[in-house]
Structures are given as structure tokens and as C-alpha cells.
Structure 1
């Protein structure tokens, strides 16, 4: 297959051409040397407390001004017409205080280009979205209207968000998506002087190695948009917040203990859609993404928010290779591995679980020294145990089974897992069951041990799949094993 290389690492391009796969949902951040560790420790003591105090003071001040500006206005008032008069005149002050809060944290915000007026571009398209610190764009764009879940407004920051007159997303509303698009269209095409609508079309955070699929919601109005790109050109990336990587508190701590950080915001020229793009929001979104990717010098990948959910689900269950689940799916599809081989490949564990690179490729049925063998070797790298040159075939097969059965109730995956970890005679001993429970039930070692003891009440030292399922059907805490994918998603949203 001919490839089209977009960068040194390569990626899938929007036209389906292939180079090496990127994973935009992973970010590695460690203090590798003694100097960084000592510096961070010292600044944690002498710099962090001062910065936190100043930032809190500035945020409280901005919040207080927002409370004054919102006094006497209901949410219905905010949605009915744009602010005017003295309420609107408070926005520049709040924006100034917001920028000061970033500066107090050691982050300087540099703005390049010119922000278009609402008449030129009613919608601002922001990418890449990689951090909670991207909220600085609200201050840099004079408090443009953000799109926000109504449920996330129930906190003190909600006052500041409300002051942007946001477009609300009601998660409990089954027609939420359609209603959100409708309101975006109304705002963008209104003759009234509304703030510009600010959207992050990627819909989730990535590591900025590429631009993933843009959601078309902000492109339905068919009006001109202004692309805005964000960069963090720092020697240590302490801001990127992805599905696999440091948590928000660790990132905030490391950012606030840097002597200096910087954020660059660049306003690109307004993008005017042609008639074809006006008629096809997805095409419009793709073309705007291409323009922004070119300006950033990164590839585009057809990854979506659903891929994030897939990775999150895999991590929650403890599936091996969870962070690379999307990549595993891509590689298996390119290798043309049929689902019928799943059962056959599962049996390969009996021939030995630990395999070398060559054995792994051979079990996949891929000829050596071919294009397909390169993809097979990449699969091996994902599951390779560091420093050993070996991978566990059962880890790969469990991930493959998860991908094949991702929309089926979990007990189908458990059935395959029992075969993978079978210690003989279609049953699992304690060690094998504990491994299964930690790798596809999301349990810790202690809970897995306790569960095995509960099922193996007669102390045979092993359990069968039927014994496990019989026990699970009686336990409410294990009911998720029998839930369909739709039921699982519904329970998560509640």
C-alpha cells in the first residue's frame, strides 16, 4: 500500500493513505533527571503557594464581577438576547483579570493575527484541543460564547461561563444534539449583536500530534468561520491532558512549578465556504481541518470521540493495550484478520503464551518480509513486555476479543478469557482467575482474590466458566457483565 507521510512519525491521512500510526490519546510525562526533580521540589515550596494564592484572588475577583453582571438575569434572559450596556462593558475587565491569572501562573499568552468581527465570522473554530488550560481562549477572544454541558455549570466557575452567554448542551435531553445545532444556527445567523460562538470541533483532548475528526455541529449554519490554532511551545509539556497520561492535578502542579510557560494563539484568515461545503457540513469541517493542520504542520487522523470512549472502556476493564485499542483495531483491519480466526487464534495459547516477534507474526499468519509483516510487528510492539523482547499472546487476543465484542454484553468476552487463561480441563486456578479479573473486569488484585474465594466455596482450587456465571447472576455488583453496550452507556451518563 502506498503511503503519504505527513510528518516524521507519520499517520493515517484523511484519504486513507497509510504511514505509521499515531495515538493522539496518549501523553507521557515524567521528570527524567535529578535536576528537574530538585527544581520542581524547590519551586513547589517557594513558588507554588504564592502563585496559587494570587490565582485564587484573581479568579474570585473575576467571579465577583460576573455575579454583579449577572444580577437580575435568569438563564432564559441570557438565552433570549445578548447583553448590552454596563453588563457588556464588564467583559473586557473580566478578560484582563483572566489573562492576569494565567500570567500569575507563569504562563504568557501570545496572540498572533487578527480576530475577525462577528459580521465577518460568527463562529470561531479552535484546535487542537489538548488541555483544560485551553480555556484561555475565552479571554483572548473577548469572552466568546462557549458550548457547555448544563450539568457542568453547578459550580463557582459556572458564573464565569454563564457570562459568555453559552450554548447549553442538555445531556438528559434525547434531542440534545439537534437542539444544540439549532441554537448554533440561530446564534450564527441572528441579526442581533451576539458574541461569536466558540467551538472545539474535536470534541475531546488530544496530545496535539494530529487533528482528529471535526464534529460537524459548528459547520451546519454554513456561515464563514475563523480557524484559531493553539500551541504550547514549551521544553516540557506540562499541559497536555489525554485519556492516557497524567491527571489534571499533576499537570496543574507541574505547570505552576515551571519558571515560565507559554501559549500561542493564532487567528488564521476567515474561511468562506463554497456552496458545496454549505450543503455538506462534514465536507466543510474536513476542509477547515485540513487548513488548520497545514498551519500547525501536523497530520489529520479520522479518530473520533467514540474512539475515546472505546479507549476509556478498555482502560476501565483493564484490557491489555487499552491506550492503543484504536490502533490495534486499525492494524487488524489492515491485516484483514477475519473474526472467524478469533477462536482459532485463541487456541494458540496452548502452544505457549510467551512469544517472540517472529512467533507473533507467524501466529497471525502473515508472510515475513512483506508490508503486512510491518503492521504485524507494530502489533507485537504494542504488547511487548519492555526489556524482554517477548509478548504474551493472551494479552493480544484479549484486546482483539474486546474490539470484536465491544458492543456485546461483557460475558461474551469473559467466555473467551476463560479459554485464554485456561489452566486445564476448562477451568481456572486462583492465579489465572485473578489475572482474568484484573484484565477484563477492572478489579484490583485483592477484590479478584476475594471473588475467587467466594465462588470456590468448596475450596477445589479452581472454578469453571459456568460456576462463575452462576455466581455472577446472583450478585448485583456483577450485573454489568450482562448489560448491553447501550445499557452501559446509559448508566454512565446518569
Structure 2
């Protein structure tokens, strides 16, 4: 039963009663465990120099790891979790890969596996209490500000994987983002670059009510935590699959290695695999944040375009003809018309699925202009000279040849509902010779470093075009 099924009287009464009588006790227990864990971590890291941090913990410091893991498991038990383990955990392999990744509760795998090292953002160091706990695991830190961070992370994983057991195991969730566990998306190859054996670990949550799934489309983290803590019991099943030893071909091709390991894990879980990637999910999330129609439709549009053989050289002509169709029909079309315009039979499953993604109210009619906006967002390459010039013109109110902070504030407030403070921070990020305005060369230099801005630029273009058409 999914979380959206929390509409029975029994479930509502249960959550209400446990919120009053059980939740406070569980929160106290959690806080005490976090406090104890923080104290243990402070002791384990006390007196270490910066150089010592780059070497494996030894002696009594290392022997405190099982104590930390046991303390974390107690925290889960006090929170109402019942953890079941299947299979044999091998401590000989340097890397473990776990999937599916669907919730912050997946940290259970970490604490049931002897507290291996993880991959995490460098910003976590500054988190109260939790920063020290994470630092004690000697994670591989990733910095979004460092352009070489990805390569440095891969090199560090390789170094530890081939250290002969000096370093603790590394645990990775190769999907790279949270999903709803209905399938396994593409694995990132980072865990497979060393070419060393890995142990796959699959995670299941066999509960009547799903209170753990945390994705971009579901409830927020605090609601997930509240509903989980107000269940009588929550079950988690961790299964250690047999160690996967790569072939010579897989050692030479990390993506093939990742693909084959994913197939084994999907088979054990009894779920399909999908071509969706972390970047697809990030695109969906960005579309949702910008109030674009049917964010998942953007990905389906991309895949359908590949099937149709539509490329960058033909997309402009296609868009012009599609736009003319949209104007003639006021943008509202049915499935048969949609299929006719695209030249695809209505029996094509992908077409029907795509149409349904845009038919949010299920009345058999979609706004073709919304489909066009989706196409325009994913069809153009990021941060081309044309895109950057277009964005600069959108910012440059009045055609002054430069952009002021007031221009930026007005444009972002109108199109993305950003506050004046948020706009000011973006304006200040650009290195400029003058404090009060940005030239095109300065704007271009900054935009080329920020490829994720391209989608926003194109969003403005699509929305402003629509607004102009409506005003005419």
C-alpha cells in the first residue's frame, strides 16, 4: 500500500495516537543515540592531523567502528525498525553497491555492514553532530565547486579498492538519486572503475504502508520521517548477493560492468531495468521546480525523438510546422490528431504513454503547446552561443548592451518567481569589471561555466513566446 493510501480511519487514528504517545519517546531515543555517536566520533578522531585523515584509522580508533555501527542500529530499533538480513556479507571485497536507493533510511545498509566508507558532499563536514559522525567513516568527499572533483573521486575509489584491505570497504548507491523502487535506473560507473570484485546488496521495504520512499514527486523528508516514526513497526530486508567478479572485458569497460551488475540485482529484486539516468531524474526535478508541464514527459519526448530520428539539423523546421498546427487548433488536440502530426500509429505504446503524460486531467485532450515547450527544452544543445545571446537579450531590458541587477531581478521574478535576494546572489556571482552592470562577454564567460543555466534560458524563451502569442 502506498503512502497516498493513508486515508483509512484506522491509519489516521494510529498515526494520531502514536504521534502523541510514542513519537516523543522515539525522538528522545534518537537524539540520545546521535549524541552518543557524536561523542564516540569525537573520541575516535581526537588528535588526528590533516595528514592522518588521509590514512586509514588504526588501533583503538578503528576498533571503535563496530561500536558506532551498533549504536546506529540501536537508533533504528528504538525508531520501530525490524531489520532482516539475508545472504553472507563478505568483508574481503573492497566495494559494495546497494540498490534501489529510495530513502534516507537506506543508511541501514551502512550500519549493518560494519560502517564502511561512503561517498558524500564536502559540505556535510559542517553539519551539526552528523558532520562528525560522517567524518569518522572516512568518506570520499565530493566537491561540486571543484571541476576536477569527479576524476579525483574516481582516483580515490581506485586507490582504496586496490589498497590490499588497508582501507575499510566502500559502500555506494550507484543509481545516484532516489527512486520509487519500481525499477533500477542506470548505474553510475564510479564503483566499477577499479575493476575489482563488488558485492551487490539489495534493499527491500516489505511494509503494508510505504512511509519511506523519498523522491522529487513525493512528500518531503520531515513528513516521511514523521509517518515512519508513527508506525508500530517498519520492516527492512537487506540481502547480500554473491560477490560479482568481473571478466576481463568488464574490467576494461566499467559501463558494461555496471550494466551487468545491475541486471543481477534487478533479477534478485524481481523488477525491470530502465534507461533512465540520474541526469534524466535531475531534468525532471528541474522541470517540476520551474512549473513546467509533465516533467516526466520531457524524458519521454527525448526518447521518442531518438526513435523518430529527429536531430538538431531538422528540429527547427519541425518546430515551425508544429507551432503552426498549434495555432490553428488553439493547441488542443486528441490522440488521433497527435499521432497523425507525428506520423506514428495510435497503436504505438510509447506514443500512448507520452500522450497520457500530458493528458493530466484524463479528458482525452492535450495542449499541444505544452508538448512544444517540452520539445524546445530538450532539443537544443546547452549553452551554445545562440542560447547565451538569447538569454542576454532576455535580461537586457531596453537593449542597453549590458545587464543591471535590476534587469536580473525583474526577469527572474517574472519567469521563475525568484526573490530579490536570490537574484542579487546570482548577479554577484558574475566576475565583472563594473559593480553595477554585466557586459555580454562577462555574461558569456559565466554562462559557459554553468551549463545547467541553459535549460532556464530556454524556459524563458518558451514562456515569453507563449505570452507574446497570447497578447496578440
TM-score range, shorter chain: 0.7 to 0.9
User: CA deviation digits over 1:255-308, x for unaligned, max 9?
Assistant: 111111111111111111121112222211111111111111111222222212
Kindly indicate whether the alpha-carbon contact (under 8 Å) linking 2:3 and 2:210 is maintained by their aligned counterparts in 1. no
* 1:225 is the counterpart of 2:198: yes
Deviations 1:332-359 (A, max 9, x none): 3324455231121112222222223333
Name the counterpart of 1:268.
241
Tell me if structure 1 keeps the 8 A contact 2:37–2:68.
yes
TM-score normalised by L of structure 2:
0.79
Counterpart of 2:97 in 1: which secondary structure? strand
Instruction: Please say if residues 239 and 251 of structure 1, whose CA atoms lie closer than 8 Å, have aligned partners that are also in contact.
Output: yes
Candidates 101, 106, 109, aligned match of 1:137: 109
Equivalence for 1:317: 290
Structure 2 residue matching 1:385: 3-state secondary structure? coil
Rounded Cα–Cα distance in structure 2 between residues aligned with 1:483 and 1:184 = 31
Aligned to 2:218, the other structure's residue is in SS state coil
- String of CA shifts for 1:301-324, please: whole Å, max 9, x gaps: 222222122222212322111133
Output the CA distance in 2 between the equivalents of 1:117 and 1:317.
45
Answer yes or no: is 1:208 the counterpart of 2:199: no
For 2:82 and 2:266, locate their aligned partners in 1 and report how far apart those are by CA, in whole Å: 24
Contact 1:29 1:245 in 2 (8 A): no
Task: Assess if the C-alpha contact under 8 Å between 2:3 and 2:209 holds in 1.
Answer: no
Deviates more, 1:323-332 or 1:175-184: 323-332
* Mapped contact 1:99–1:139 kept (Cα < 8 A): yes
In proportion to residue count, which structure has more helix?
2
Please report how far the alpha carbon of residue 380 of structure 1 lies from its aligned counterpart in structure 2 after TM superposition: 1.4
1:305 equivalent among 243, 267, 278: 278
Match of 1:347 in 2: 324
Q: Normalization by structure 1: what TM-score?
A: 0.76
Q: Kindly report which structure 2 residues correspond to 1:424-439, keeping only aligned pairs within 5 A, or say none.
A: none
1:12-411 → structure 2 map (5 Å cutoff): 29=4, 31-80=6-55, 82-118=56-92, 121-155=93-127, 156-191=129-164, 193-337=166-310, 339=315, 340-351=317-328, 352-368=330-346, 370-371=347-348, 374-405=349-380, 407-408=382-383, 409=387
SS of equivalent residue, structure 2 residue 98: strand
Contact 1:410–1:483 (CA under 8 A) maintained in structure 2: no
Q: 1:410 to 1:111 in 2, by over 3 A?
A: farther
> Residue 238 and residue 349 in structure 1: after superposition, are their counterparts in 2 closer, same or farther (change >3 A)?
same
Task: Provide structure 2 residue ranges, at least 5 long, that are not aligned to the other structure.
Answer: 395-410, 421-436, 456-472
Find the aligned partners of 1:247 and 1:98 in 2 and give their Cα distance: 23
Task: Show CA shifts across 1:235-271 (max 9, x none).
Answer: 1221111122211111111111111111111111111
Residue 443 (structure 1) aligned to one of 410, 417, 424: 417
Counterpart position of 1:20: none
Distance 1:258-1:143 versus aligned 2 partners, 3 A rule: same
Give the Cα separation in 2 of the matches to 1:62 and 1:267: 26
The separation in 2 between residues aligned to 1:268 and 1:174, in whole angstroms, is 35
Distance of 1:56 and 1:92 partners within structure 2: 20
> 1: CA distance between counterparts of 2:236 and 2:334?
44
Corresponding residue for 1:459? Answer: none
Q: Tell me the secondary structure at the aligned position of residue 125 of structure 1.
A: strand
Specify whether residues 75 and 323 from structure 1 end up closer, same or farther in structure 2 by C-alpha distance, changes over 3 A only.
farther
- Would you say the 8 A contact 1:401–1:413 is kept in 2? no
SS in 2 for 1:441: helix
- 1:430: which partner in 2? none
Structure 1 gaps of 5+ residues are 1-26, 417-436, 448-473
Query: Could you tell me whether the CA contact under 8 Å between 1:331 and 1:375 is conserved in 2?
Result: yes
Q: 1:9: which partner in 2?
A: none
Structure 1 residues 410, 41: CA separation in 2 closer, same or farther (over 3 Å shift)? Answer: farther
SS at 2:450 equivalent: helix
In 1: Cα distance, 2:155 partner to 2:362 partner: 54
What is the SS of the residue equivalent to 1:207?
coil
Q: 1:401 to 1:262 in 2, by over 3 A?
A: same
Structure 1 residues 227 and 106: alpha-carbon distance in aligned structure 2, compared to 1, 3 A threshold: same
In 1, distance between residues paired with 2:389 and 2:229? 45
Q: Identify the residue that residue 466 of structure 1 maps to in structure 2.
A: none
Are residues 41 and 270 of structure 1, via their aligned partners in 2, closer, same or farther at CA, if it must alter by over 3 Å?
Answer: same
SS in 1 for 2:24: helix
CA 254–28 in structure 1, closer or farther in 2 if over 3 Å, else same? closer
The 1:111–1:196 alpha-carbon spacing in structure 2 relative to 1, beyond 3 Å, is same
